[in-house]
Structure 1
Amino acid sequence: MEISATGRLEVRITAADVGKRVSVRRLNDPPREGEKFTDTVGVLASWDAGVLLITRKTGETVRIAESSLVAGKVVPSAPARRRGPAASYAELAHITTRAWRPVESERLGEWELRAAAGFTRRANSVLPLGEPGMPLDEALAAVRSWYGERGLPAYVQTATGAEGTQELLCAELERRGWTREVSAELWIGALAPLADREEPAGVVLSRAADEAWLARYQRKGLGEVALKVLGSGPSVWFATVPGDGEVPAAIGRCVVDGRWAGFAAVEVDPALRRRGLASAVMAALAARALDEGASAAWLQVETDNAAARALYAGNGFSAHHAYHHYREPDSEPGNSGSDR
């Protein structure tokens, strides 16, 4: 907190600091037992009519009455990373979208509208990198019209928690009644430690998702659209660990794109978990990615998936930023499953 030379807490932010990362302390009203103050760190999204909106790195927007402030200051826009490869949000946003391409896309200024018949939110949402080339309300109306023509609910994919992410857009969407439906995190790490693990045995790599691989994949009733999305990317590899029957014991997918290798769809037969199969799949895919010149890795994991988070943390990954899917007001949730 900001403390003056006299030792008093001071509020050293104003409405002119909207868009900056701030740290504030406010009085609890009503007071909580043993907790007189609450501290909040995030991007100052707005300061209107005596109310501050601060978007935390998790994407949560906090409303704070100006009258409750006791201290506040501007803080560095993004804390320094302590481990893992250096990467900007913009670089990762482009890398991840190239690894999961829609069947149809269209530009709206610097925004990309993406559609794939409803297969996953990632392939059926707007990626708002930069400006749409028109006022926000007009842009959102165009977005809703575009998805409506395709019989799909409109989603906007935003990110928070890193330099250059979209905390301000999150607050504006929430102000307009858009619902944050899903949040997850993008984690990054070095690639070599994955491949340096014990040599995986019995992992089969292929360029296409065959019937056996699809039998283990969590999404059922796959059509041509899903196969196109799964097969999209600069250099795509599928890993399979054969099981006792027709359904594999474990599977995984990796897309190599320059220095980056992106992992997805790492799934294991529930009866065979905690036997190292997921790590074996990732190690085999990592070794292939290293052969193709990659050195860094990324993956996406939902915030409530404790088992996956423990696995990836154990393999040297850590969170880079959070991302969210906002659904248009007055619409039914899309049937896009857990592929975010």
Structure 2
Amino acid sequence: MEFTGGGLLAIRITGSDVGKRVSVRYLTHGPATAATFADAVGVLVSWDAGVLVITRRTGESVRIPESSLVAGKVVPPGATRRRGPATSFAELAWVTARAWQPVESEPLGEWTLRAAAGFTRRANSVLPLGDPGMELDAALARVRDWYAARDLPAFVQAATGAESTQELLCAELEKRGWVREVSAQVWTGGLAPVADLDADVSEVRLDRDVDEAWLQRYQRFGVPGPHVLQVLRGGPSVWFASVPGTGPIPAAIGRCVVDGRWAGFMAVEVAPEYRRQGLATAVMTALARRALDEGASAAWLQVESENDGGQAMYAGMGFQVHHHYHHYRAGEGGQG
């Protein structure tokens, strides 16, 4: 069904535009308020039963009755602003995956099933890049069975603000009762600006392997079993940074994985009593300089959407949001 509007506004989208990035204006009002205009830009993931669903870059889904539409158009791909070093979503997704490798993995078509005894969702979720080789419901049933055999909850990691196929997958997962539990952002930037920061790196120690003191500062697990160490040590070229404190546990730590032109920063943590002393910047700078020595030129990192302090620090270093990713957990008794 196609709509046309009079005057300067026109609705130039139809149900055939599902999967494309669109910009729409619509009327919205509450029970006791006058109608006002609202805007939504994102991927049109469905248009069923008179309701449009648009997924924004952040992963938020907006439901809009078609009767409320005032204007709408498809946003050309060229209108998307380039953020950070030029890269495709697929390239960056594989680089980030290689930097945080699971203990075991198995292909499902072009998807990758990953497990690491429950240590972090990233290492215990499906990386759905491409076609699983079967209908979606069958693929999700296979995912449930694979994780159940390992006594793990089934998670799928999917992105928004990256490419339409990923956003469509997010919408299909939500339709089937999969619940989004955690969202994070992937930021990219040039590596040289980080290496050039005016930071005191004299106390930063760089090592090829992780030690017990580093692990005590990295409090993301209970007892650090072999699976934790395998994930932390995995990657093309891994470096661990630490800054000594007054006791045996470091005041600050960080991890960097160099993979071709990319350097990925992870596990940058500072003890509460040492914060606001520039230690996180010192760790990042020291790791960036080592990555430059290995030939890297671009940088990426991941930060949770609620971490306002981290986002402010990374923005000050020249990083920008590239895309958002979300972990969807299989709902109880849901489809797929």
Q: Provide TM-score, normalisation by structure 2.
A: 0.94
Match of 1:336 in 2: none
Structure 2 CA distance, aligned partners of 1:32 and 1:184? 36
Structure 1 CA distance, aligned partners of 2:85 and 2:34? 41
Structure 1 CA distance, aligned partners of 2:32 and 2:308? 30
Match of 2:256 in 1: 254
- 1:24-64 superposed Cα distances (whole Å, 9 cap, x missing partner): 11111437757611111110101111111111111111111
Residue 166 of structure 1 aligns to a residue in which SS?
helix
Residue 52 of structure 1 aligns to a residue in which SS?
strand
Q: 1:157 to 1:82 in 2, by over 3 A?
A: closer
Structure 2: runs of 5+ lacking an equivalent: none
Structure 1 CA distance, aligned partners of 2:164 and 2:112? 17
Cα contact 1:90–1:164 (8 A) shared by 2: no
The amino acid that maps onto 2:310 is A
Please identify runs of 4+ aligned residues in structure 1 that moved more than 2 A.
4-8, 29-35, 76-84, 162-165
Match of 1:39 in 2: 39
Does 1:65 pair with 2:33? no
The amino acid that maps onto 1:189 is G
Shift of 1:164: 5.2
Residue 168 of structure 1 aligns to a residue in which SS?
helix
Match of 1:203 in 2: 204
The amino acid that maps onto 2:216 is A
Structure 1 CA distance, aligned partners of 2:168 and 2:52? 12
Residue 123 of structure 1 aligns to a residue in which SS?
helix
Q: Provide TM-score, normalisation by structure 1.
A: 0.93
Alignment of 1:157-196 (within 5 A): 157-163=157-163, 166-196=166-196
Which of 298, 301, 304 is equivalent to 1:302?
304
Structure 2 CA distance, aligned partners of 1:278 and 1:40? 37
Shift of 1:159: 0.5
Structure 1 CA distance, aligned partners of 2:32 and 2:264? 44
Does 1:240 pair with 2:210? no
Match of 2:233 in 1: 231
Residue 134 of structure 1 aligns to a residue in which SS?
coil
Cα contact 1:205–1:239 (8 A) shared by 2: yes
Cα contact 2:43–2:164 (8 A) shared by 1: no
Match of 2:93 in 1: 93
Residue 123 of structure 2 aligns to a residue in which SS?
coil
Match of 1:28 in 2: 28
Counting matched residue pairs gives 329
Shift of 1:190: 0.5
Cα contact 1:20–1:77 (8 A) shared by 2: no
Residue 171 of structure 1 aligns to a residue in which SS?
helix
The amino acid that maps onto 1:258 is G
Structure 1 CA distance, aligned partners of 2:177 and 2:79? 31
Match of 1:292 in 2: 294
Structure 2 CA distance, aligned partners of 1:193 and 1:32? 52
The range that moved more, 81-90 or 312-321, is: 81-90
Structure 1 CA distance, aligned partners of 2:92 and 2:192? 19
Which of 274, 277, 284 is equivalent to 1:275?
277
Shift of 1:10: 1.6
Shift of 1:269: 0.9
Shift of 1:69: 1.1
Structure 2 CA distance, aligned partners of 1:174 and 1:53? 12
Percent pairwise identity: 69
The amino acid that maps onto 1:133 is G
Residue 289 of structure 1 aligns to a residue in which SS?
helix
Shift of 1:79: 4.3
- 1:190-217 superposed Cα distances (whole Å, 9 cap, x missing partner): 1011111235111100011101100110
Residue 124 of structure 2 aligns to a residue in which SS?
coil
Alignment of 1:108-147 (within 5 A): 108-147=108-147
Cα contact 2:18–2:44 (8 A) shared by 1: yes
Alignment RMSD (CA, Å): 1.8
Residue 52 of structure 2 aligns to a residue in which SS?
strand
Match of 1:337 in 2: none
Residue 122 of structure 2 aligns to a residue in which SS?
coil
Cα contact 2:29–2:35 (8 A) shared by 1: no
Q: 1:85 to 1:306 in 2, by over 3 A?
A: same
Q: 1:73 to 1:32 in 2, by over 3 A?
A: farther
